[in-house]
Amino acid sequence: MPGRTGSKRGRARAYHHGDLKEALIEAALKILRSEGLEALTLRAVAREVGVTQAAPYRHFADRRALVAAVAERGFVWLQEAMLEGIRSAQGRAGLRQVAVAYVRFGLDNPAVYRVMFGPEVANTADLPSLRQTARPVLGFVAEGIRQLQNAGLVGEGDPHLMAVATWSALHGLVMLTLDGQTSSVATDVDVLVAEATRIMMFGMAARAGDLPK
């Protein structure tokens, strides 16, 4: 999933084959994980890769374009993780596994996750490649909900709105956990994921037989 950065000698050979853009993204990921978002600049990735300061501008107009490329890579990895989750189970259990995969991805890749949903690339109007890569992730969840509705396993409602609500809950869980806000609630994040998906699928209302008389 996360990219690997090879030796500078190996990367230099790759550049002759048109792989400079990939090498710059790999360098950006390395800097992001080790030094944080503030250290991620075009000059820094050029230095990491071993090219001139002007070289990154062949592929990225500015720093924001580089950050968008990192976010796009993250969405590709996230979708792969969610697809793997749905392959491991069917029906409502499959949806639960997708939720687990989403949260686990965020917790395992905190720096990339924060970039993916950070303010710098929140508006994708001028970032068509990122928008095209990110949108299918939500669409994937919406389609899963629609299929469960057709099977009578999930209640009625707009699948897209339900997907947004689900995403909001899971995103909130990821961010609260990354910021250390859930440590006093549960030691196992999977327990919180299971509860979030249970509420999403069944709600918090008591069953008819359990209502007070």
139 and 48, same domain (yes or no): no
Last residue of a domain, one of 58, 76, 94: 58
In this prediction, residues 30-35 reach a mean pLDDT of 96
Give me the residue label for tokens 């069944």.
Answer: 202
Rounded Cα distance, 43 and 52, in Å: 9
The amino acid at residue 141 is V
Domain annotation covers residue 209: no
Predicted confidence at residue 186, as pLDDT, reads 66
The more confidently predicted of residues 6 and 172 is 172
- CB 21, CB 27: distance < 8 Å: no
- CB 28, CB 37: distance < 8 Å: no
Domain annotation covers residue 211: no
Domain annotation covers residue 15: yes
70 and 112, same domain (yes or no): yes
Write out the residue range of the structural domain in which residue 54 sits.
Answer: 8-58
- CB 103, CB 168: distance < 8 Å: no
Would you place residue 111 in the very low, low, confident or very high pLDDT band (cuts 50, 70, 90)? Answer: very high
44-94: per-residue pLDDT in tens? 999 999 999 999 999 999 999 999 999 999 999 999 999 998 888 788 888
Domain annotation covers residue 161: yes
**Which structure tokens are listed for 59?**
């592929």
98 and 128, same domain (yes or no): yes
Does the structure show a pLDDT above 80 at 26?
yes
Give percent of the chain above pLDDT 90.
Answer: 57
108 and 135, same domain (yes or no): yes
Domain annotation covers residue 159: yes
For helices 20-35 and 63-87, the axis angle rounded to 10 degrees is 80
Is 119 buried (19+), middle (13-18) or exposed (0-12) by CB count in 10 A? exposed
Predicted confidence at residue 213, as pLDDT, reads 46
* Count of structural domains, the chain: 2
130 and 78, same domain (yes or no): yes
86 and 178, same domain (yes or no): yes
- CB 1, CB 80: distance < 8 Å: yes
49 and 141, same domain (yes or no): no
Predicted confidence at residue 206, as pLDDT, reads 66
Positive or negative, the CA dihedral 46, 52, 53, 57 is negative
77 and 90, same domain (yes or no): yes
85 and 18, same domain (yes or no): no
Tell me which residue of 67, 77, 87 sits closest to 134, measured CA to CA.
Answer: 77
The CATH number given to whatever domain includes residue 147 is 1.10.357.10
The amino acid at residue 118 is G
Tell me which residue of 32, 8, 30 sits closest to 20, measured CA to CA.
Answer: 8
Does the structure show a pLDDT above 80 at 205?
no
The CATH number given to whatever domain includes residue 22 is 1.10.10
137-163: per-residue pLDDT in tens? 899 889 988 988 898 888 889 999 999
